[in-house]
Each structure stands twice: as structure tokens, then as C-alpha cells.
Amino acid sequence: MRKGKKRGRSEPGSTKQPWNKYSDNPPDFANLASLYPSFKPFVFFSGGGRPRIDWTDYNATRELTRILLLHDHGVNWWIPDGQLCPTVPNRSNYIHWINDLLSSESFGGGDGSSKVKGFDIGTGANCIYPLLGASLFGWTFVASDFTLVALDWAEKNVKSNPHISDLIEIRDSKVLLPQCSEEAATTVQSVDDDNKSCSIEPAVLVGVVKDNETFDFCMSNPPFFETFEESGLNPKTSCGGTPEEMVCNGGEQAFVSRIIQDSAVLRQRFRWYTSMLGKKATLKLLISKLWEVGVTVVKTTEFAQGHTSRWGLAWSFMPTARKILAPPLVKKSLLSFMLECIKRQYSAVDVLQSVEEFFKSCGASCKLNSSTFSVDIVASDDQCNTILKNGITDVDSARSHGYEKKQSLDGSSLQVPEDNLSFRISVFQQMPGTLLIKGSLQQKDIPLSGLFSVVFGSLEESMKSKFCR
């Protein structure tokens, strides 16, 4: 949970989450202190007069979480001393991302008529995800854990909120272990040779999910670390966390591998399997595992809140609705996007130069024409690969456009057509602070137009994260 990567700058693939109310509006401590007297003792004013709290004080971070849940979500909440204390903005990011996945068109979209049902693996004493999911979106949850304190307090937190308590069931993940041993042992062998038998640890999904149960998604904030020492104490924050919450054999990679193994058994009984991760390196390793077990879609995102980054990984075995994803062919050779709310210091020239730099940095040859405000680009298949690799969030998108993955270990290389991709990017001023970016493919053949749309998507992601507020 601690020790997430510190963010120095915006990176390719990082995701702004505009729907998360905390994205651009961090909690106003002064206002909260005036509304909640119990919070007031924890707020002090820095030299510049800014209200602050001492992030190294567990009581302060816990009280902040308590009042944010109450103030912003109408949720009553508490945890005993030492239990992992979640930060509401960070946990909200993950919930909102799942909401995006559910409403994405990847599987042709749901009909929206039935209640969304989620499974929170390792809900903790804090039970934060079910409380947020139920209060924000009315989702129902099965929330699992195996420690007595987690099960007891998660139940207490649910019961303290009668308006949503019917939506959340707390489930012990170790009760059903014997059933898991039989069922999981066979799959574990086929997925991970190092782990041939079901251990005596609590089950993850297989064995906890009941016969005939289906879910829209599962989620997990896994124990990230292999040892409690590794989890360390971040001197800048105090979020608590017991060894059971922070540590498991093999760390997050082993834990999420177990979710992958179980997903390979349960397959379409979940629309989406997801997990949060603390290290980007783990993400790449797990993506290659996912293709091995035959998933149809992989999605990733970066959760950036304050100075810390986490990563989200999602996969599915549902058949993808390619017809819906693929835009009409005629439109694929002409693409566009808007850059709105451009930061004041940037002009159209900066954007144009940045487009050139984006493709040059991948080795593509570029010709900038400042009178027509355009850049002509020719990119080889290797150079396109580099662009797609940098924009890891687009792996599934590239596949959906008909490109097969190379059998490489990092799981992110993509085969592209033999021919070079030749296209022009033009920048048009629409009004102050808004630019229209157009891309036109010079070749009109079908496979290249699919690749072009994925490459253009990477450019859009990069330009928006760099120039837009």
C-alpha cells in the first residue's frame, strides 16, 4: 500500500479521472474543520497560511477518511487502531474506473436493466470499496476477507449504514477452502507450473464464489509486499496496515496470479476481472500471463492522486463486439480530436512541435511545415510498435483492430503490417484555448487504417495529458 511510485511529471498512459470529484479538487481541510469539530484538532496552518494535516499521524488520516466518507458519501465508518486506513480519493479512482469499464462498449454494452454485482477480494476492516460502490452507484457486492478483525469490522461498517446494508454481503474466504483445493489444483497446474497444488491459504475466487453466481466485476487491492519489512514505513504518511493486510507470499505478483488462475476457471462468470497494482513492472509480467490463459481483452490504467501512482489491470473472457469497436472504414483514414482547455502557456505552435517530437522520439521521420501547421510522418512497423508500447493502455484497442500479439514476454509488442505508415497531422485553431487536431492517412488500404487509428489514439492520449487542464 505504501511506497507507490512518486510522480514527477505526467507520463504517457497516465489517466486523469475527471469524474472523480477529488481529481482537481483536493479536500478543503479548513472547511471540513469548521464543519466537523472532531477533525479540527488535526488541522494546522503552514507558513503560507494553507490548512494542512500531519500525514504521519494515523489518527489524523483516519479522522480525515471518516469525515470524507460522511461528508461526501453519507457513509458512517470506523476502523480499530492499526488497521489499514484507506485514502478516499485513491479508492474513488478505482471505483470510477470500474464504472467506466462497465459502461464501455467492449462487449456490446449491458442493457442497464439489472443491478451491477461486484466482488471485492480482500475488503479489509475498512470495507471501503463496497461502501463507495454501493453509495455512489447502488452496486451490490460480495466482499471477502479471512481475518477475524476484517470480517468483524467490515460487517460493523456495513451495518452502520442501513441505507446500503442490503447491498453488501461479507463473506469469509477460508470457509470454503476444501472445495477450492480440488477445483483449483487442476487449473493452477495449467497456468503456473511453480504452484502445482492449492495451498492452505484462504481461497481467492474459486471456492468463495458460489455455484451459479455471476458477477459484473471483481476488484482487489492486494497485499503488495512479500515481507512486512519490505512494506516499510513511509516516513511521510501513516496509513497503518497489519501484516495480514500488507503481505502475502510472493507479494502482489503472486496474489494477482492467483486471481488470474481462478479467472481461467470461472471465465465468463465475471464480465471483468480487475486488480490494483503497486508496481508498473508487475503489470507487464501479468499482462503476458493473461494472454497465455486466453483472455479476450486487457485494459490498464494509471491512478494518479497526489504524489502517488498505482496501476489498474482489467481483463475479460467475454467475446468482444468488434463490429461496434471498429469505426466505419471510410472514417478511418481521416481522424480528429479536440484539445480543449489548453493550459495558458501553450500555443498552437507548441502543440505542433510536440506532435513532431512525439513521432520523432519513436524514430519516425517527420517533416514540419509551419505555414500549413502540419507535420508529415512516415513510421515503420518497428516505430509503430514503439508508439503502441509507450501507450500501454491501448494494447486491447490494437488487438481489437486486428493485430496479433507477438509471442514476446513483455506482452506489449504488437505485429503491424509490413508497409510503412504515412500520414499527415494538422493543427487548427478553433477558438482561444481550443485546437482541432486532424490526422489523414496517405495510404487508403484497410489494415493500415486500423493501425493508424490506434497510433492516432496514442497521440491523442499524449497530447491531452500534456496540454489540457
Ligand X SMILES: C[S@@+](CC[C@H](N)C(=O)[O-])C[C@H]1O[C@@H](n2cnc3c(N)ncnc32)[C@H](O)[C@@H]1O
Contacts of 280 (CB under 8 A, 6+ apart): 5, 309, 311
Which one of residues 87, 106, 126, 300 is an interface residue with ligand X (CB under 6 A)? Answer: 126
Long-range CB contacts for residues 248-253, cutoff 8 Å, separation at least 24: 248/201, 248/222, 248/223, 249/201, 250/226, 251/223, 251/224, 251/225, 251/226, 252/222, 252/223, 252/224, 252/225, 252/277, 252/278, 252/279, 252/282, 253/282, 253/285, 253/286
Q: How many residues bind ligand X (CB under 6 A)?
A: 23
Point out which span in 5-13, 143-151, 299-307, 416-424 binds ligand X (CB under 6 A): 143-151
We find the least distance from the C-beta atom of residue 90 to ligand X, in angstroms, to be 9
Beta carbon of residue 35, minimum distance to ligand X (angstroms, whole number): 25
Where does residue 251 fall: left (phi above 0), alpha (psi -120 to 50 degrees), or beta otherwise? left
> How are beta strands 270-277 and 215-220 bridged, if at all?
parallel
**Whose Cβ is closer to ligand X: residue 88's or residue 116's?**
88
The answer to whether 124 contacts ligand X (rule: CB under 6 A) is yes
Round the CA-based radius of gyration of the chain to a whole number and report it: 24
The residues in 276-305 that bind ligand X, with binding defined as CB under 6 A, are: none
CA distance 398 to 390: 13
144 touching ligand X, by CB under 6 A: yes
**How far, in Å, CA of 253 to CA of 260, rounded?**
10
Which one, 128 or 352, has the nearer CB to ligand X?
128
Q: How far apart are CA 466 and CA 469, in angstroms?
A: 9
Q: CB nearer to ligand X: give 219 or 388.
A: 219
Q: Is 123 in the site for ligand X (CB under 6 A)?
A: yes
> How deeply is 7 buried, as exposed, middle or buried, from its count of CB atoms within 10 A (0-12, 13-18, 19+)?
middle
Residues found in the chain: 469
**Does 173 engage in binding with ligand X (CB under 6 A)?**
yes
Please, what is the minimum distance in Å from the beta carbon of residue 322 to ligand X? 34
45 to 84: interface string for ligand X, x by CB under 6 A: ---------------------------------------x
CB of 80 to ligand X, least distance (A): 13
123 versus 253: smaller Cβ distance to ligand X: 123
Rounded Cα gap, residues 181 and 183, in angstroms: 6
Q: Is 145 in the site for ligand X (CB under 6 A)?
A: yes
Read off the DSSP letter of residue 209.
B
Instruction: Quote the CA–CA distance of 394 and 332 in Å, as a whole number.
Output: 17
Which x/- pattern over 200-239 shows residues binding ligand X (rule: CB under 6 A)? --x-x----------------x-x----------------
Quick one: 222 or 457, whose CB is closer to ligand X? 222
Per rule CB under 6 A, is residue 252 in the interface with ligand X?
Answer: no
C-alpha cell at 345: 502557456
* Helix residue ranges per DSSP H, 198-335: 228-231, 243-246, 251-266, 280-292, 322-325, 329-332
Q: Is 128 an interacting residue with respect to ligand X (CB under 6 A)? A: yes
Contact set for ligand X, span 1-40 (CB under 6 A) = 1
Asked whether position 187 contacts ligand X by CB under 6 A, the answer is no
Q: Establish if 133 lies at the interface with ligand X (CB under 6 A).
A: no
Q: Are 427 and 396 in contact (CB under 8 A)?
A: no
Q: How far is the CB of 84 from ligand X (least distance, A)?
A: 5
> Is 244 a residue that touches ligand X (CB under 6 A)?
yes
Q: Which stretch binds ligand X (CB under 6 A): 120-128, 159-167, 350-358, 375-383?
A: 120-128
| Nearest residue to ligand X on Cβ basis | 122
Choices 10-18, 99-107, 125-133, 267-275; region in contact with ligand X by CB under 6 A: 125-133
CB of 300 to ligand X, least distance (A): 19
| Distance (Å, whole) CA 292 – CA 120 | 25
Considering only residues 78 through 97, tell me which ones interact with ligand X, judged by CB under 6 A.
Answer: 84, 86
Selected binder of ligand X within 147, 238, 426, 462 (CB under 6 A): 147
- Beta strand ranges found along 183-269 (DSSP E): 215-220
Output the smallest distance, CB 211 to ligand X, in A: 19
* CA neighbours closer than 13 Å in the CB half-sphere of residue 132: 28
Contact status: 121 vs ligand X (CB under 6 A)? yes
Binding footprint of ligand X on the chain (CB under 6 A): 1, 84, 86, 121-124, 126, 128-129, 144-147, 150, 173, 202, 204, 221, 223, 244-245, 248
